[in-house]
Structure 1
Amino acid sequence: MNVMEEHRYMVNTAENIFGSDYESIEVLADLISEKLECPITIEDANHRIIAYSRHEDEVDPVRIATIMRRKVPENVINSLWKSGAIPQLFQSEEPIIIPRIDQVALGERVAISVRKQNEVVGFIWAHPKEPFSQGKISILREAAKAVKNQLLQHQKQRKETEKNYQEFFWKLLTGHFSRMREIEGMNERHKLNLKGPLSVIIFDFPQPITPSLERQTNYLAETIQQLQIIARTYDNTQMILLVKLSEESQTGSLTQFINSFLLKISERQKINGMVSGAGSVVDQPLSISQSYQEALYVLKIKNQFPQATAHIHCFEQLGVFQFIEELAAIRKQSGFKNPMIAKLKDYDRTHHSNLQETIFTFLQHDGNMNEAAKALHIHANTLAYRLKRISDIANINLKDANQKITLFLDLLIEQLENSHL
């Protein structure tokens, strides 16, 4: 039998092997493993394990960790993205040979994406003991076709589950419930894990979220495994997540998750210009609506003060911005205008200078000369000269904390008023 005949034989054999129904996807996983003569795993599009073949004597740590966690570890996913393996799987219908990645103890793999038309619905990962022949490559192609219906059914069930809890989730977000008994009664059907520390995170995209973008954001949210996602929904340009946290370093965990999401969606999907916000961590479901309102407030403040709040993601980090609107209302009611700002504004207008921006940047950086000078793109000596001019013109003592705080707050209030014009 020549090479071409052998190849046709293997293809026909594969089609015959995977041409019938199966008792379960686990049975199919074992059959694929038997024909490929190596362990395999079947994942959904977000790298959650759907089925895996029986263990062999020799398995690498990544396979063990994946099966134990029921999902591929985040550091492995990151390495596969950096190596170009996952981008290839999303772009190509053909099997991809992936060399070992020693940094994460990943042995050599042969993988193929499972597709419904152009949409990736999952993956098959084979753990070969020796290089695959063309015959086994053909078997893997046919295995992907056989697995497709199983994964589509799983995808449909998951979408139905998420669709069913959407109304319940919106009721939690909008404060519909007044008693825990009502929440517990409705949650008997949905079984959301609402015990422990919870927070609402909102990612506001620069454009409405299309079905394609929704799949991409779901993928990222699922594969960043720093927080447990309890529920998610979409509202025009916003992805809204309810997340569960550990008892320690809660604000730090929220910030880390948000930064990871923003970085990866920028690197992988080339989406920038997003605004994010997280509400306070709450310890019972009745307070989820409070966390949601606080997350919305964070977005509002970040849009009003984009530079001053660029590093802020959580409500607890807002500081004075938590009550800046109340302070503005008090100032407006009293009719008070800070004379220091008026003097600087007049000087800037007459001399075409930017002393008001200089003092705001200096105060924003808590008086740190080097950081303020860097932000203004000037030398520290130039900043020192400007500060002396500001002190003389506005009659302000920059060693008086009370004066500095008052000036900073009034500068923020002026920015807030300008953002409403």
Structure 2
Amino acid sequence: MLLATLAGTPRYLAPVGGVVVHDADDPPPIPVGAIVLGVGVTAPDDVRSLVRLACLHAAAAVLIRQPGERELAVDDLLPDEGMVVLGLPAGVSWQQVIAVLGTALQSPPHPKVRDLGGREVGDLFGMAGAISDLIGAHVTIEDRNSVVLAYSDHQGETDPIRVEVILGRRTPEPYWAFDEERGALRAIRESVRPVFLPPLDLPDGRVTRGRVAVAVRAGDEILGSIWGVVDKPLTTEKDDLLLDASRLVALHMLQLRAGADGARRLRTDLVATALTGGPEARSALDRLRLAGQSLIVVALTLNEPADGAYTGAAAHVTKLQRLAVSFQVHLAGTWADTAVALLDDTVYALVPSRREDTEVSLELTCRSFIGRGAEGAVIGIGRVVHEAAELELSRADADRALRVLGRRPPEPSSAPWADRVARASDVEVEALLMELRDLAASSKRGPFGAYARLLAYDETRDSTFMVETLRAWLDAHGDVMAASVATHVHQNTFRYRLKRMSEIGEFSLDDPAARFTLQLQLHLYPPEPATGRSSR
């Protein structure tokens, strides 16, 4: 196992009430049956206090960083019956554990299935363990996208690649590329029997052990694959056992897919209903276990057009679906009750706000998500609302922030999240100008008055002379010295240009209303750059 049992006896059949990250300065609510993560809790007294608190709330388990020798007397923890204290080994990050637990808890309840080799297995993890016993190999079960669905125990006895696969919940790109290059994946897809794959010599000097793999099929459809760590090909008898096991796994995966689809559709419907803010919103929030809480709506989408072709559109949707799952897992580390759903082309998250700095923390969490490789994604964050009827306002905020981010020109930056995450309150002016620009375009309005006359003057001379002078003057708040420096001309020359500008535009430089009108139009109707135009 990846986690060591330090004390207590787990209740294997008890439902898990979620994952909670413990904060000593601001203790979060602990649901019944929760797994409590003691991040940074290392002092013996602090560990004992956390275990007592978890027992008080009938939590299922406490997870702490595995102590070294003589650091903590685990026999003194004395958890309640049914409680268990688990140890996280060195080298495994808390984020990895949160991702693994979050993904596992999203799976629907597993139906009972038939015996496998004399063992009753109630879920894919049970199946992985049973298959491991049958063929004498450490096993992972993956879907057709190489995402790990289940695995057998004793990861440390194989090779480091298996540990990376389990912690990352999918086959890392380099190893997947190696298998693709040597034709392994094609062989697995085309063979009706298990395929033996020799060890790999990796560029970093490590050597993997061999693998045996078989496709999991439902008719002509490939649902996934089963992988076992072996040093040589299996015997014919064990090959047959693995092939028989793949058929049972296929049945179970179909059942899981049906259950997951139903649960996902229900969650999507509830989130959509809540976001409307209508009379059914409160009931939807109650079913999502978010009723009576202050909430923030977060919106995520891909800032890239979907290919019009069928395959391109399908890839776009698939990428959004993966982002939705990843975003749910990422948010669950801090906000366990968050509800995430993909609606049309946007992923929406309803995030509970239980503290004053939730908006700041949420923005940092979203930046972290973008920085971890969410390529092409942009995230908008709405306001905090306290009533179900106000959720549509927070959603509108988040949508406006997405529009602003989608129209911003890309700027080179060392931060991967730059210009890809924004709170609505921080881009309100840009959003208002965008809405005014759309309104003006829909009503076929355009430049008027002094600004229109300046544009016409420049147009007849194929230049941007007047508009650039106007922009520099307004940007400098009427400071002639600063404006002349910005335009690289002498102050007297700039003063002459201002005089000509006021004459051509027929307005007074001292009129505040005229200045405001010119500045607003400059933002609404910026002159389009044209090749060959001069600012002189």
Regarding TM over 0.5, the answer is yes
Once the two structures are superposed, the pairs formed by residues 222-241 of structure 1 within 5 Å of their partners are: 222-223=325-326, 226-228=330-332, 230-235=339-344, 238-241=345-348
- Paired letter, 1:348: D
2 CA distance for matches of 1:410 and 1:58? 69
Q: In the alignment, what sits opposite 1:263?
A: 375
1 CA distance for matches of 2:155 and 2:397? 51
2 CA distance for matches of 1:98 and 1:243? 46
TM-score by length of 1: 0.60
Alpha carbons of 1:102 and 1:276: their partners in 2 closer, same or farther (altered >3 Å)? same
2 CA distance for matches of 1:352 and 1:194? 62
* 1:158 and 2:260 matched: yes
Q: In the alignment, what sits opposite 1:350?
A: 460
Q: In the alignment, what sits opposite 1:147?
A: 249
* 1:31 and 2:130 matched: yes
Once the two structures are aligned, what percentage of the paired residues are identical? 19
Residue 255 of structure 1 deviates from its aligned partner by 4.3
Bigger helix fraction = 1
Match of 1:93 among 178, 182, 189: 189
State whether residues 44 and 123 of structure 1, in contact with CA within 8 Å, keep that contact through their aligned partners in structure 2: yes
State whether residues 447 and 525 of structure 2, in contact with CA within 8 Å, keep that contact through their aligned partners in structure 1: no
Match of 1:206 among 295, 299, 306: 306
Structure 1 residues 148-186: Cα deviation after superposition (integer angstroms, max 9, x where no partner): 111111111000111223332111111125885x4554x
TM-score by length of 2: 0.49
Q: What is the root-mean-square deviation in Å for CA atoms of aligned residues?
A: 5.7
1 CA distance for matches of 2:428 and 2:325? 31
State whether residues 41 and 52 of structure 1, in contact with CA within 8 Å, keep that contact through their aligned partners in structure 2: yes
* 1:296 and 2:394 matched: no
Match of 2:521 among 406, 410, 413: 410
- Paired letter, 2:346: M
Alpha carbons of 1:197 and 1:58: their partners in 2 closer, same or farther (altered >3 Å)? farther
Alpha carbons of 1:148 and 1:26: their partners in 2 closer, same or farther (altered >3 Å)? same
Q: In the alignment, what sits opposite 2:409?
A: 307
Alpha carbons of 1:57 and 1:200: their partners in 2 closer, same or farther (altered >3 Å)? closer
Q: Mind listing any 5+ residue stretches in structure 1 that lack a counterpart?
A: 1-16, 265-274, 367-380, 397-401, 417-421
Q: In the alignment, what sits opposite 1:176?
A: 278
- Paired letter, 1:413: L
- Paired letter, 1:232: A
State whether residues 109 and 125 of structure 1, in contact with CA within 8 Å, keep that contact through their aligned partners in structure 2: no
Q: In the alignment, what sits opposite 2:229?
A: 127
Q: Choose 1 or 2 for highest CA Rg.
A: 2
1 CA distance for matches of 2:139 and 2:361? 38
- Paired letter, 2:258: K
State whether residues 196 and 283 of structure 1, in contact with CA within 8 Å, keep that contact through their aligned partners in structure 2: yes
* 1:253 and 2:365 matched: yes
Residue 385 of structure 1 deviates from its aligned partner by 6.7
Once the two structures are superposed, the pairs formed by residues 181-200 of structure 1 within 5 Å of their partners are: 182-183=283-284, 185=286, 187=287, 198-200=296-298
Q: In the alignment, what sits opposite 2:154?
A: 55
2 CA distance for matches of 1:409 and 1:88? 62
State whether residues 233 and 241 of structure 1, in contact with CA within 8 Å, keep that contact through their aligned partners in structure 2: yes
Query: What's the secondary structure of 2:277's corresponding residue?
Result: coil
Residue 414 of structure 1 deviates from its aligned partner by 2.1
Q: In the alignment, what sits opposite 1:374?
A: none
Q: Mind listing any 5+ residue stretches in structure 2 that lack a counterpart?
A: 1-114, 333-337, 412-417, 477-484, 502-511, 528-536
Alpha carbons of 1:317 and 1:51: their partners in 2 closer, same or farther (altered >3 Å)? same
2 CA distance for matches of 1:261 and 1:233? 19
State whether residues 469 and 498 of structure 2, in contact with CA within 8 Å, keep that contact through their aligned partners in structure 1: no
Q: Which has the higher contact order (CA 8 A, sep 6+)?
A: 1
* 1:72 and 2:174 matched: no
Structure 1 residues 392-414: Cα deviation after superposition (integer angstroms, max 9, x where no partner): 64569xxxxx9999866432222
Residue 40 of structure 1 deviates from its aligned partner by 1.2
